Every structure is written in structure tokens, then in C-alpha cells.
Structure 1
């Protein structure tokens, strides 16, 4: 049974009831005791841990029990080859924890002779130069205060170099313009809640492995980007904690309140921010006072609630007065679509603009579930302009707001390099789908149906036009909300459809009538969701049984 005194102390504090942990950290302790501490092929380098703690406390600040717990796992190694046990570490903690300060001191130590690896270069990566410089500037200033530290390192405005190990600390932005950079020993990724995919991460970690004990640190507070890089990290973390992934795939330190009700319990706030544990130092007391003041201000300005619970409590919040469904309800749509070959389905389309997006879909029933298979057509000129679709990987700007190219590669949409979206191609999608199911009718709203009706009818489709779409929104809203709440909506593994859904703004008038609009008029498209709503209008008309045999019998008749 391996043990380190700082790790043992932290766990004992929990068992003694002296600190409160959220469920993910309780899972972390159980996972460590079951899968890590029981191993005989790894060890904590206690001397290195103590050196890192002393270095930080001498040149930066005094560490808390939580900090020492985190530092210990940076220096957990395999006995056989001395290789680091955790290459990846996730520190996902509420705002105010001091993530940057802790990582600044740690990076300064890792490039020092005390770590003992020559040219152990480190990159500090964030979305903006200002954020990327945060930890760099802390190291820069610590060295500038004089003493032995100023003799150990040379500093400029762009890099810090160890005089003995020649290791370099630099800051970088995550847009990948500097991908041919250092032969890094470690990379720190800050503001990870803003990463929409792992593309930029992959660029920066490509140089790891050329130095002994490569490390990746992912630090930040949760945010508003869903289905992005951070959600993938959280999913991997939970798999590790449950024993469903490689035991050392990541070291997941996740701090958050367990449920929304704990916002109103100040004693539970330390679950999201361990700095609030008793006893508190001066910084923690000031932090607590600030957070409590923000909490009290919610009474006068409830519009700040979403920011407070997301950033201060590390629990992403979606305002149900503005959004269609809770995030976990939207995530619950990510289930395999049941087979609909031979089934009766409703075809639906949203063709609001012929110059940007068009969404097609098939809605069908599977017991109580509403299943929706969809495909979109988008114009290249539009996605080039607003999403950076055609930007080359090595250019400084990359796809923003929506990963159109990723969705194209997944077959979720088709990019058309044409002046307008071709009606024949849209109708052709339904013709192709008709080869393996029975499309009862095509539902669309009245807008632009003059372009579509004749083409659909020429191909043998019955068309129904919704004359007043806003009226059906209010009619269908209770059904759609209930279906989301009970996890009876299935989109398949379709991040594009989940994106459409998150972009919907629910407006409620004085009579309680709801309409589905856009949260932002240009980039945050809702076409796929509007298409889904059209299908829901006639969802009760489709049969839930396989009618392929009946169709075969009819086609065999000779009239």
C-alpha cells in the first residue's frame, strides 16, 4: 500500500468531517484506494514533493492541504522506469481557487534544477494572450523580486530560462499559430472551458514525449461551451473514477456543488472551492466575503444567477426561461437512433433561408420516444464568412462558433458551393430516405413553400403547410418540454442537433404563450430544432409498427 503523508492527511480530513467534498472527489478517494494505493509498482517521490512544496512556500505563497494533495500526484512514478504515472491532470475548480498561482509556482519548480531534467520546456496555453500570460507574469514577477530566484533564472517579456537546466517557460495562444514550438516537457492548458474541440490541444501536445516524464495540465472553471473539449475531459474523468477506463488515463480533480439547491447553503460552497474550507487564511476570508456579497446581490439582480452558479459554484446552469431544456436533458438525446426501416415517418423541413442553412428531418415513434434523424445543407460562402470553414489548419484563425468541418466529416451536413441552396438536392435527400421507409407527408411552414411544394409533389410527396408557426410553438411547448424532461427525445450521436437545440431562445408572452426563437440572429442557428418542431406537429399521426410487409403487398398488386 503506497502512501504519502499529504495525501493521507487530506483523506483523513474528509473522513473526520473537517472538510466537505463533492461526489466527484469522494469518487476520487474511493478510486485511489481501490486502484492506485493498492499497487506495488508505483511510488510517491516524497523528496521531490517536499522540494516542490518548500520552493512554492519560499518564493510564492503558503500551500493549503488541498494544494499539497494536488502536488503529490504530480510526482507519482512507476518504480521500474521512473516514468510519471499521470501524464494528464485535470484541475476543474470554481473561480477564486487560485489555479493560476498554483500552476505558476509548479511550472517554475519544474524548470528549476530541483526538478533535475535538462531542457524541460513548458508552454502555457490559453485562448487569449492576456490569459496565457497570467501564470507567466506571476513567475516573471517572482523572479524580479530578487534573491536566489533571480540568480537561477533569466527572464524576458516572452520567456523565462533556467540558467542551469536551460529549460524554457513560454506562453502561447491556443489558435495553433506557433505549433512548431518547443520540444516541451509539459504543457499547461488554461481556460479549457472555451475549447470547442481538441484540435488546438493536439497541436500543442504533439511535441511531448521527447523529454522524460511528459505532463499535461488542464486547468479551469466550467463554462458555457457544451459538447466541446471540456465535456470530453469530464466524460473521461468519470470513466476513470468508475473504473471504466485505463487507471492512469487522467488525474481528475473536480470540485463543484452537487446540486443547484446547495447554492443557498454557504456551508456547501467549499465543495466547489476548497479555499473556503476551515480554517481560512486572509485570502480565503476575503474570497468568501466577495462570493457572499455576489450571492446577496442575486436578490436584486437575478440575471447574474447563471454566471454565479456556473463560475462560483462550478455547476453550469441553463436558464429554463430562456432555453428549451436542461443541459442533462439535451445530453440525454445522445442515444442510438432505433432502426426505422419499413416504418412510417413524418418528413419535415425548415427552409427559412436559401442562402445559409436548411434542415431536413424524419420524425418517427419508438414506444414513448420521439426519434429524429436529420441532415442539413449549408452554403459554403456563409460558413466561410461566419464560421471560418475554409481556414487552413496552419492559419492563425480557426473555425469559430461551430465546427462545421467536423460535422461535415461526420456526415451530419452537406456544404454546397452554390449561390443558393438547391431545392432539388433538398428534395433528393427525402427521395433517398424513402427507399427504406414510408414518408407519410412532408411538413413545413408557409415561408418559402412556393419554392418547395411543386418539387415535392412532382416526386410524389404529400405536403402540409403550417400557416401559423408561432401558434404551433405554444401548442407544442408543453409536449416538447415534457418529452425532454422524461428523456423521450432521441437525436442519436448528433452534436449538430444538440447545437441547434441549445441555440433556441424560448420567449414567453404575457399570456404564457411560448415561441421558439434564436439566442443570436446570425451565427447561432436553430434550423434543425425548428424542423423537429414541424415534425412534432404531426407526430401522433405516424404508426409505431413495421409496415414494410403491407407496402410490399401493395406494390405487388397489378392495377
Structure 2
């Protein structure tokens, strides 16, 4: 057994009802009590922790109980070799929870003689320079305000160095190309909600390991980028909290409301922002007043609800007036999410969702009955039906031949629509426009093809449909008229029947109710296709004054929707073409 007064005090605050925690933090405490605090091969470095708390409270601010709780695990070590136990930390909280302040104090402490590791360099990384400089500037200003600190630390506008340890703090933007080769002891990734890929983390983490006790901190509030670094890290965190990944060196501290209705209850806001827990500091009282004002203004400014829910409640919520579907509905095109109930077995869950037991995977690992507990969220890969030789209708979006083009096949199996798709992306476009998407990764997964040349040539489109015709019952392709002559000549030459949509935007309003329904009822299957999820999440639903809807792009250049538009084209003709075999009767056949 290992103990620490700050850990014990924080857990006691919850157990005695003095603070209320969200589900993820309750799971964290249960995980710690079951798997970590019971170990005898670990120890909290009490002297180091005491020194940090004194350092932080002397030069920065008085630490709250939750901040001391977090700091304790930063200084948890193995007895055998004095190596850090937790190498990575996920601190996900609502805006205003003091993440940057705590990081400022920690970063400053890490380079100080109190930490005592020579050349323990710290890099602070964010998507833009202003955010990356937030903690750096705070350290810079603290040093400038105290003569004793100016004698201990050298500071410029770009780096801060300890004279004693020669350790340096620098800030960087997340552009991997700006990394200048520091042998880091610690990397802090700020605003992780905006990381669409793992590229930044991969580059900066590659410099770790050359200095003892390297650490990485992932901090931020939730955001609007889905299926990116943060979503995958949250999945990883849940695997830890559920006890399925006990060797993962990540410490996950996630603060959020448990239900959207709690946004109407200020007494529940401490679940998202731990500054609002227990006895409030002067800072917390002022912040709470500000958040309450923002909440009251939602009555007259409902357009700000999505921002309020995401940033103040750490509970991302889609504005269904402007988005095609919720993220949960988009995810359901590839995965089932099932909460294990008392008495249920993995076998029973597999039967319920018609998946084979050996293919039932959670976080891409085969999961056995003994590895899950009641209440665990099971993420089950949704099986794609056997589509060989089944009738389908092709969809094509070929409007912008200088960047993206998308092709696909739409099938109907029972009540479900199944969309198989591929995209072509011009390399020249990727070289000039930085997309917030893992394009190279998607190419490796076979979801798209990067092509050379000044345009995406039509033969790429034609060849794909020809190959698909060899596997499926494809005869008709639906496209808009933008490249009519080019598309018509090439596809009809291969024997395809082309159906043209003369006014693509006009069909959006006709299809909108059906699109909303099939997403809401989980009647749409993409398979595990992050590219198609990206396309769909990029769609902006514009409601015109006459009530008609149009599917546009949330960003004209960086948020592509081509795969979704190709799907819409196919869906427009689907019910005319896709007739279930059971619907055929003898009288329908022309002899």
C-alpha cells in the first residue's frame, strides 16, 4: 500500500460528499484504489512534492485540492530505479480550470534546482504562437517580478534557462517543422482538441528518453475536431479507467458534466470545472459569476450554446440546426456502443449485434468476459454485410478536379443503407493547402489515392467504377452536371448508365428528412471509415429563409465534403434502383 496526504484528502472530499465528481473521475479513483495505491513497488516522492507545492504557492498561487492531487502523481516513482511511473498525463477540463497556471508552475519547477535534473528541457506546444506563449509568458513575468528569481534564471523572449541546471523552457507552434532539436525532459501539448492527427505528438515525443524521468502533458478543453488526437486519447483513457489497459503509462483526469441537463444546474458545474468544487477561492467566485452570466445570455443568444457546452461544460454538443448529425450518430456508421449491464455476457452482446465472438473487439483488442465490468462502454466494430453481386447505385462528386474527387456505391440491405467509397486527392493541392486531416494515414488504409498532375484525371474515376462492377451489381451512376461532357463521354464509353442531377442543391431539401432519419435510427453503414466520418462532420447545413436546406462546407478549403456529396447523389436515386430481392414478384418480370 502507498499513501499520500493530498491524494487521501481529495478522495475523502468526494467520499464525504463535500465535492461531487463526474463519472470519469469516480472511475479514476476506483482505478487508483484497486490497481495503483495497493502496490508496494511504488512510492510518492514526498520531499519533491512538498518542494513543488511550496514553490508554486510562493511564486504563483495557492493550489486547490485537485491540483495537489494531480501533482502527487507527477512525482510517483518506481522503488527499483526511481523512474517515473506515469510518463503521460491527460488533463481535460473546462475553460478557466487553471490548467495553464498549474503547467506554468510545473514547467518552472522542472528547470529549477529543486527538481535537480540537469538539462531537463521543457517544450510547450500549441497550434498557434499566442497559446503556446501563455505559460511561457507567465513564467517570464514571474521571474521579472522577483529579483531573487532573476538571479537564478536567464530569460529572453524565446527561452528561459536555469543558471544552475542549464535546463531550458521554450514554446513552439504545433507545426512539426519548427522543432529545433531540444533534448526535452518534458513536453506539454496545449489545446489538444485542435490536433487532427498524431503528427505533432509524434515529432515532439521523439526527442524524449535522453533525459531521466521524461514526461508528457496533454492539456485542454474539448473542441470540435472529431476522430482526431483527442478522441483517440479519450478512448485510450477509458480503457485505462475500465481496467482493460493496466500497463498504459497515461494518467487520465477528465472533468465534464455527465449529462447535458446538468448544464442548467450550477451546482453541478464543478464536475466540468474543479475550480468550482468545495470552498471557492476569490478567483473561482469571479469565474463562476462570469459563467453564470454567459449561461443566462443563452436565452437571448442561443447560437452560443454549442460554445458554452463545449468550453464551459466540457461536453461537446452539435448544433443540429447546422450539422447533419451528432458525432455519436456519425460514429454509429462504423461502431456500436453498448454499456454492459448486470447479467450480460460478451457472448450475449455478440449475439445481440450479430457479430462473431472472435471478431468482437474493444479498442481493437479481442475482449474476453473477464476483462469487462458492468457499466463499461463497449465499442464494437459494426459488421458490413456481404455485398458481393448485390445491386447498388454509384455516386460521384467530381466538381473540383484540382483538389478532391469522391466515388462510391450505395447498397440497401433491409432497412440499412451501406456506403462503400473511395477518394482521389491531388498531390499539388496537398502541397499548397494544409488540411487538418491525416491524409497519408488514410492513404495507407486504402481509403483514398493521392494522384499526380495538374488535375484529377477522369480515368481514375472510370477505372474505379470498372473494378467495382466486377464485384457488385453496378449499372447506374448518379452525378451532377458540373463536368457533364467529360464524365458522360468517359463513363458511357465503358457501358455505364449515367443519371444527371441538374441542380444538386435542390435535392438537398428533398433528402434532408431522410438523411436525418437514417442517421438518427443508425440505418447507415460506412464501416470503420474515418475519412467518411470527416467528410460528414465537415458538412454545414444551411437553412434558407424559405425553410429549404442545403449541404455546404464548414470551411471552403480545409473541410472537404466530397464523399458526403457523392453519397447524397446516390441516395437521390437509391429507392428507385435498389429493390430488395424479396420485393420481386413473378408479375414484375418481362418475359
Q: TM-score, structure 1 length as denominator? A: 0.91
Partners of 2:40 and 2:138 lie apart in 1 by 38
Aligned to 1:362: 409
* Cα distance change, pair 421–203 in 1 and its aligned pair in 2 (3 A): closer
For residue 426 of structure 1, the aligned residue among 461, 476, 484 is 461
State the SS of the aligned residue for 2:288. helix
Q: Deviations over 1:76-110 (max 9, x none)?
A: 11111111111000111111011111111111112
Q: Is 1:88 equivalent to 2:124 in the alignment?
A: no
Aligned to 2:522: 487
> Contact between 2:397 and 2:562, CA under 8 Å: does it hold in 1?
yes
Aligned to 2:429: 382
Partners of 2:398 and 2:168 lie apart in 1 by 54
Q: In the TM superposition, what are the counterparts of 1:59-78 in structure 2 within 5 Å? A: 59-78=59-78
Give the superposition deviation at 1:156. Answer: 2.6
Partners of 2:58 and 2:550 lie apart in 1 by 59
State the SS of the aligned residue for 1:91. strand
State the SS of the aligned residue for 2:535. helix
Structure 2: gaps spanning 5 or more residues: 336-382, 583-591
> Contact between 2:469 and 2:475, CA under 8 Å: does it hold in 1?
no
Partners of 2:73 and 2:564 lie apart in 1 by 45
* Cα distance change, pair 88–544 in 1 and its aligned pair in 2 (3 A): farther
Aligned to 1:152: 152
Partners of 1:512 and 1:132 lie apart in 2 by 43
Q: Which moved more, 1:456-465 or 1:220-229?
A: 456-465
Aligned to 2:378: none
Partners of 1:160 and 1:379 lie apart in 2 by 43
Q: Which moved more, 1:234-243 or 1:455-464?
A: 455-464
Partners of 2:580 and 2:32 lie apart in 1 by 48
* Cα distance change, pair 402–530 in 1 and its aligned pair in 2 (3 A): same
Q: In the TM superposition, what are the counterparts of 1:90-169 in structure 2 within 5 Å? A: 90-146=90-146, 148-169=148-169
Q: Deviations over 1:467-504 (max 9, x none)?
A: 44344322322221121112222212222211211221
Give the superposition deviation at 1:544. Answer: 5.7
For residue 515 of structure 1, the aligned residue among 530, 550, 567 is 550
> Contact between 1:343 and 1:545, CA under 8 Å: does it hold in 2?
no
> Contact between 1:255 and 1:271, CA under 8 Å: does it hold in 2?
yes
Partners of 2:107 and 2:554 lie apart in 1 by 40
Which aligned segments of 4 or more residues in structure 1 are displaced greater than 4 angstroms? 543-546
> Contact between 2:330 and 2:519, CA under 8 Å: does it hold in 1?
yes
Aligned to 2:346: none
Q: TM-score, structure 2 length as denominator? A: 0.86
* Cα distance change, pair 2–462 in 1 and its aligned pair in 2 (3 A): same
Q: Is 1:353 equivalent to 2:400 in the alignment?
A: yes
Give the superposition deviation at 1:379. Answer: 2.9
Partners of 2:3 and 2:580 lie apart in 1 by 58
Aligned to 1:211: 211
Partners of 2:541 and 2:193 lie apart in 1 by 25
* Cα distance change, pair 139–509 in 1 and its aligned pair in 2 (3 A): closer
Aligned to 1:391: none
Q: Which moved more, 1:351-360 or 1:144-153?
A: 144-153
Aligned to 1:498: 533
Q: Deviations over 1:355-386 (max 9, x none)?
A: 3322100111344322111111233333333x
* Cα distance change, pair 146–467 in 1 and its aligned pair in 2 (3 A): closer
Q: In the TM superposition, what are the counterparts of 1:28-427 in structure 2 within 5 Å? A: 28-146=28-146, 148-335=148-335, 336-385=383-432, 387=433, 399-427=434-462
Give the superposition deviation at 1:510. Answer: 4.6
Q: RMSD of aligned C-alpha atoms? A: 2.0
Q: Which moved more, 1:279-288 or 1:48-57?
A: 48-57
Q: Which moved more, 1:327-336 or 1:88-97?
A: 327-336
Aligned to 1:18: 18
Q: Which moved more, 1:115-124 or 1:283-292?
A: 115-124
Q: Is 1:442 equivalent to 2:477 in the alignment?
A: yes
State the SS of the aligned residue for 1:463. strand
Q: Deviations over 1:1-49 (max 9, x none)?
A: 2221111111111111111211111111111122212222212122221
Give the superposition deviation at 1:339. Answer: 3.5
Q: Is 1:456 equivalent to 2:491 in the alignment?
A: yes
> Contact between 2:197 and 2:437, CA under 8 Å: does it hold in 1?
no
Structure 1: gaps spanning 5 or more residues: 388-398, 547-559
* Cα distance change, pair 292–419 in 1 and its aligned pair in 2 (3 A): same
Q: Is 1:542 equivalent to 2:542 in the alignment?
A: no
Aligned to 2:568: 533
